Chain A
Amino acid sequence: MSTAVSADSSGKPQTINLEDLPLAQLQKIKTQLEEELNSLTGAFSQMKQAQSAFRECKNCIDEMTPESKDKTIMIPLTNSLYVPGKLSDIEKVVVDIGTGYYVEKSAKDAASYYDSKIEYVQDNAKKIQQTVEQKQASYRGLLEIMQYKLTQQQRQQQQAEANKQPGTTAKAR
């Protein structure tokens, strides 16, 4: 007995018995589930990307050691313009916290900021993964039922064909 959980118009979760639905509606639910799965996997990969970007930032902060102070580096001024210069301050960095706000933090504080960001994204990614697994399970159940209904329909059609030609079967005897 396969059921799918969905929310009806009042927002309460309502279990639908998939076996009772006709094939056309099952098709609709199938396409709906496929779309949801696609968008969820897209969101999941975005989370992974964001996580690796934050990890990179954290690595960059770790690179700014006391040895690198006053070392000559290539400083990007635009996408294609670089100038030789020196790192002036290894203790303080500026972090873009979003919505146009930039905050100057000590290297340690910035590292812990990125750590908490990584954790937050990790939690979200886990939640998305759980939802994806749920949807995949209902999708598989749906496919089974559709297969079953299809074979049922085919068998019915074959029987209808056989019943339509009583004359020929009589001749065959």
Chain B
Amino acid sequence: MEANPRGIPKSPFVDNVEEYLKTDTVEATLRKFTEAASKYKFMENSKLQQRSGLEQKIPEIKKTLAMVEYLTEQRKSNSPTKTLFEVNDTLYAHAVIPPTKAVNLWLGANVMLEYTLEEAQELLSSKLEIAEKNLEEASEDLEFLRDQITTMEVNTARVYNWDVKQRRIAKSATKE
């Protein structure tokens, strides 16, 4: 079976139902198809979650990167910056930031590291690149999965309809 770059198997399209059913009973085939369809749907859900997580993180990384660039600019002017910072949800206070060459980045899991401005800029840009690439891949995968789910549902419908037709033919044959 072919697969897409991330290893998701491609679903086969059943062109000739009769040929396909020579190897399996109708019930077993239908069961296989519904199983495959539910696996695809499960993967779709997890990709959707991954995508929405990334969509949240990317603007934050962009903001942090912009701040680091601003601080690099400020350092050139060599004068302290006056700013308001968030103390709490609705409370802000005045502060003065002297020109600094080091910033601290919160990496999560209770870890904060100090970086020089250049290192911070590098780290954030590479993080942003990776996140954007992952977002692209997740969107691609989602489209691909949608296709496979539709194919599987069409297959199930075709097999079921063929089965119904066969039963009708068999019934009218026994009646004669």
Contacts and interface: CB of A to CB of B under 8 A. Distances in A.
B100 interface: yes
B63 A87 contact: no
Contact of A94 (B63, B93, B103): B93
Interface residues of A, number: 32
B8 interface: no
B90 A95 contact: yes
B63 A88 contact: no
What does DSSP make chain A's interface, helix, strand, loop or mixed?
strand
Contacts of A83: 71, 97, 100, 103-104
Contacts, number: 100
Contacts of B106: 79-82
Interface string A36-67: 00000000000000000110110011001000
A95 B84 CA distance: 11
A81 B64 contact: yes
Nearest to B60: A79
A26 interface: no
Interface string B43-83: 00000000000000000100110011001000000000011
Interface in A58-113: 60-61, 64, 73-89, 92-97, 102, 110
Given A64-B93, A82-B112, A85-B96, A74 B104 contact: yes
B97 A85 contact: yes
What does DSSP make chain B's interface, helix, strand, loop or mixed?
strand
A118 to B, nearest CB: 12
Instruction: Give the interface residue-count category, chain B.
Output: 20 to 34
A77 B88 contact: no
B12 interface: no
B87 interface: yes
A93 B93 CA distance: 5
A152 B81 CA distance: 80
A88 B87 contact: no
A95 B94 contact: no
B91 A60 contact: yes
B88 A60 contact: yes
A19 to B, nearest CB: 49
Contact of A81 (B88, B96, B104): B104
Contact of A87 (B92, B93, B120): B93
Contacts of B83: 75, 77, 85
A83 B104 CA distance: 6
A78 B67 contact: yes
9 contacts: A57-B88, A60-B87, A78-B60, A83-B103, A85-B83, A85-B98, A88-B95, A93-B91, A102-B92
